[in-house]
Amino acid sequence: MIGVFDSGLGGLLVLNDLAKDYPEQQFLFHPDRKNAPFGNRLDDELQAIFKENLTYFKKRGCQDLLVACNTLCSTIDFSTYTDIRIHDIIEKTVNTVDVDKRAHILLLATAKTIEKGRYERLLKARGYNNITALALPLLATLIEEYASEETVYDYLKLMFKDIKDVDAVILGCTHYPAVKEQIKAFFPVKIFDSNNLQYSFLSNDKKGAVYLDLPKDEGLLHFLDHHLDIPYQFK
């Protein structure tokens, strides 16, 4: 079984594509919504949060863990964990960027992801040097709270007011594809995110299934109706 972990609902968008790309695999999605948003947490807090949730996935027999959280992937060195195979989305996301090297790239992410600078280092290593990194501290929370399209639009309009001449956008948080169309209204350019990435999983389930381990509420079911088009069951 493959675990998919995030601070909240953003990981569901990654999971939706994974289940289509790997139909024979079993996925267990478990978010830590009580500690969200991760982007405003201290490093020590993030380490503790990750270790606690890693134990959860190991107890359920997961052979692989996809950390669908850019904040954790920018903060934690996963190479120190050897008893479960951990998949990191940042480098894979950067490797999908395919625009002119002179392009002005707008990186949108949490404050912690921006602070750590991993996206920028990897982009510069690939020859992209014209990068504007913009933190959107409230966007993940607005998505978690099922904010209206109007509320999200007003927030984005405020945050984007000084950004001009963008050639490409990277969504450096797995929540942000939930509002990709609204972002595209401001920047009608190529947008790169952490969805539709390719992985090499150890798990060999042979019988696909998607399990969601999170409490149901009306807002969640509405979110699932809008963003998931795969069969799933609550665990």
Instruction: Determine which one of 54, 69, 73, 191 is catalytic.
Output: 69
Domain 92-192 fold: Rossmann fold (3.40.50)
98's tokens: 């395919």
Can you give the pLDDT at residue 38?
A: 86
Q: What are 170-215's pLDDT values in tens digits?
A: 999 999 999 999 999 999 999 999 998 999 998 888 899 999 999 9
Mean pLDDT by 10 residues, the chain (235 residues): 94 95 96 85 93 95 95 93 92 96 97 95 97 96 94 98 97 96 97 93 90 93 94 93
Instruction: Determine which one of 173, 179, 183, 191 is catalytic.
Output: 173
Is 173 an annotated catalytic residue? yes
Nearest to 36 by CA among 140, 151, 111: 140
Q: What are 77-94's pLDDT values in tens digits?
A: 999 888 899 999 999 999
Q: How far is CA 193 from the centre of its chain?
A: 8
Nearest to 156 by CA among 183, 188, 125: 183
Can you give the pLDDT at residue 61?
A: 94
CATH 3.40.50.1860: which residues of the chain? 2-89+196-234, 92-192
Can you give the pLDDT at residue 235?
A: 85
Is 73 an annotated catalytic residue? no
Q: What is the spatial distance between Cα 152 and Cα 176, in angstroms, rounded to a whole number?
A: 11
Domain 2-89+196-234 has CATH 3.40.50.2000: no
Range list of H helices, 145-187: 149-159, 180-186
End-to-end CA distance of the chain: 14
Coil, strand or helix: which one is 139? helix
- Name the strands in the sheet holding 190-192, side by side, starting at the edge strand that comes first in the sequence: 131-135, 105-109, 168-171, 190-192
Q: Name residue 183's amino acid.
A: I
